[in-house]
Chain A
Amino acid sequence: MKRFVFLLVVLTMLLAACAPSVATSQPAATNPPVAGEFDINNWDSVLAAAKGQTVNWYIWGGSDSINAYVDNFYGKALKERYDITLNRVPIADTADAVNQVLSEKQAGKEVGAVDLIWINGENFFTLKQASLLYPDWAQKLPNSALVNWDNPAINLDFGHPVDNLESPWSSAQFQFVYDSARIKADELPRSYAALKDWACANPGRFTYVDPTGSGGFLGARFIKGALYELSGGAEQWQKFDQSVWDKHAPALWAYLNELEPCLWRGGETYPKDESELVTLFANSEVDFSMTHDITGAGRWIADGRMPATARAFVFDKFMIGDFNYVAIPLNAPNKAAALVLANLLLDPEFQAAQILPENGFGLGYAIDVTRVTDAAALTALEAAATKLGDSATAAADLARSLVGDSAAEYQPIIKDGWAGNVLQK
């Protein structure tokens, strides 16, 4: 018996010995919720409350260069300027963060693990519907004045009102990538119809990202663009309407099924995410890749993942663009620090840094440059916009082909429909 007791004591001691390291890995749990300790209308009180906190930022971690950018720019600045530690939690899929928040709700956890999520579209919609987001803050950030909140592309996220629940970080637009050493620019397809002809004239040389999985974002964009072209317009898709979908879906599945035999590996499998498609493209397995970077292929070239001759291009119409955001869960343990970070993301200095290809992020501005009053900041922003590199699509081409995304409700319908009507056929 003595021995058993002894063992239990040893066991408890060992477990206790683990505890401090648990605390460092999850500082969230040790800090009490700080709501009430600051007043969102008084920014100084937010800064004071945030001091010494650790902000747990759940962010898609599938890109090495984005990870490095986040650590090197925001991580450093938070520490040096605000004494905030950035804990970047890389996730395979933003849905994992949503899942985490939902699980915490289920388990009745008052103090969660997540402080900030990089989010948009259906994931935002899910959390908004479940009332699990910290309300009424985005337009109270000091840098929120630089955001054009009257722009429907900003105040609507996949057709759903943002309602002050999330703050924009950057903008993106769907584009294709080709290798100028392999294909001439005037031979490029400029519409979905032309793409199908091209693919079937060059069988096995094109594919798109599987839209169903965690990395399926670009694949869904590609399919929605086809839907827009086949249905003759983007506007009707901004509001969800089942009858509109039922009317046009058969044409979409027909197009994709006609395309399928001409695809890489005859369409028996699809790349899981952008990164896998990039590998296929760089190794000449296929001739096109896809991106939503404002710098086109710049980030991938800088990363050594694509040849230096890679270039971005767009169709004449229906290239979906949108803004992406950050949101704070209702049970976030370090809300003040999350607010400071969300505000930092909109800072002109970092907005200018995020679009430069060599910094590794590559997405566009969330702020409206014309609202920036500080002369030096304005110069920096304008200078950065001219340094997007050879592989970026011309701004005029991007603007001409730009359309908004469809209502969030279409996202699961398209994913499931594709799995049932295209993949499993």
Chain B
Amino acid sequence: MRHLTIYALRFLLYILLAAPPLLFAAYAFSTRWFFPAPFPAEWTTAAFARVLRDSRTLSSAAQGLGIALTVSLLSLILALPAARVLGLRKFRGRQTAWLLLFLPTVVPPLAIGMGLNILFLRLGLAGTLTGVTLAHLLPTLPYTIFTLAGSFARFDENYEFQALALGANPFQIFLHITLRMLAPSLLTAALFAFLISWSQYLLTLLIGGGQVLTLPLLLFSAASGGNPSSIAALSLLFIAPPVLVIALTARALSQHGNEIREQY
């Protein structure tokens, strides 16, 4: 009996977890679904097809994907050396460095975006992919650095020394020892840098100035009063990467989840 209750609860939980995508699917694949009909009466792929046919949708998805991939790669490259010294070395000013890197997680994107708006306009970076990518680094870098620094703190440098003693060159050591030992947290850091960038709304809006469009921008403008079918279809596209990522990394997250900050 007790088993049954637990299974029932578990089943209920899974329904609840699946509810948002199901809700979006119901709205995205139906039309003329008005109050008071409790369920969609007319099923159609027309609305979803129209959203996909809109050249803006796919180019926004592609642009968002390109930005997020670049941002997560750049974050890793920039974070690796910083995280290494923060995790492994004691030095004067270490505390200050921590604090400075912590700052972007608490200064609101609103203030950052509004402030960078004019600077980037003068530099010709406003409205460009480069500008938006640079701006996205601010929220992703701290997160990547903290995640990797946590791993470096548990990292045993003796493996590197041994490899050096055995005649490996620095590049081989980096590739075969350092990267390999850090692989799980590198992956986590990269994935979440990707997600933070992928779902970034304000910085993209303020730096992209309407010329760099990503899915959150399209979704936001649809959601402020648009067609429920289009909103739902855009939502489905927008959550596809996060849902995939979380489903694949749920296990690893139990270790790193705490470091995920709120920007995402």
A275 and B227: CB pair below 8 A? yes
By beta carbon, the residue of chain A nearest B221 is A92
Assuming the contacts A283-B35, A284-B35, asked whether A25 and B212 have C-beta atoms less than 8 A apart, the reply is yes
Q: Is residue B180 within 8 Å, beta carbon to beta carbon, of the partner chain?
A: no
Q: Is residue A409 within 8 Å, beta carbon to beta carbon, of the partner chain?
A: no
A279 and B78: CB pair below 8 A? no
Q: Is residue A282 within 8 Å, beta carbon to beta carbon, of the partner chain?
A: yes
Assuming the contacts A25-B211, A26-B211, A279-B228, asked whether A14 and B121 have C-beta atoms less than 8 A apart, the reply is no
Q: Is residue B176 within 8 Å, beta carbon to beta carbon, of the partner chain?
A: no
Quick one: which of A75, A282, A304 has the most chain B CB within 10 A? A304
- Where chain A touches its partner, the secondary structure class is helix
Give 1 or 0 for each of B48-71: 1 = CB within 8 Å of chain A CB: 001101111001000100100010
Assuming the contacts A21-B66, A62-B226, A68-B54, asked whether A304 and B130 have C-beta atoms less than 8 A apart, the reply is no
Stretch of A3-11, A141-149, A336-344, A378-386 contacting B (4+ beta carbons < 8 Å): A3-11
| Complex: A23 Cα to B124 Cα, angstroms | 13
- Where chain B touches its partner, the secondary structure class is helix
A273 and B225: CB pair below 8 A? yes
By beta carbon, the residue of chain A nearest B73 is A14
A67 and B56: CB pair below 8 A? yes
| Complex: A406 Cα to B212 Cα, angstroms | 36
Q: Is residue A64 within 8 Å, beta carbon to beta carbon, of the partner chain?
A: yes
Stretch of A83-91, A120-128, A222-230, A246-254 contacting B (4+ beta carbons < 8 Å): A83-91
By beta carbon, the residue of chain A nearest B118 is A107
A21 and B129: CB pair below 8 A? yes
Assuming the contacts A25-B212, A61-B221, A67-B54, asked whether A103 and B121 have C-beta atoms less than 8 A apart, the reply is yes
Q: Is residue A265 within 8 Å, beta carbon to beta carbon, of the partner chain?
A: no
Q: Is residue B77 within 8 Å, beta carbon to beta carbon, of the partner chain?
A: yes
A22 and B74: CB pair below 8 A? no
B225 and A107: CB pair below 8 A? no
Tell me how far the C-beta of A61 lies from the nearest C-beta in chain B, rounded to whole angstroms. 7
The contact of B227 among A3, A103, A303, by CB within 8 Å, is: A303
Give 1 or 0 for each of A272-313: 1 = CB within 8 Å of chain B CB: 110110010011110000000000000000011101000000
What is the interface of chain B, defined by CB distance below 8 A to chain A?
A: 31-32, 34-36, 46-47, 50-51, 53-56, 59, 63, 66, 70, 73-74, 77-78, 81, 118, 121-122, 124, 127-130, 133, 209-213, 221, 224-230
17 CB-based A-B contacts, threshold 8 Å? A10-B77, A11-B78, A14-B74, A18-B129, A21-B63, A21-B66, A22-B128, A29-B124, A68-B50, A68-B54, A75-B55, A272-B224, A272-B225, A279-B228, A283-B34, A285-B35, A304-B46
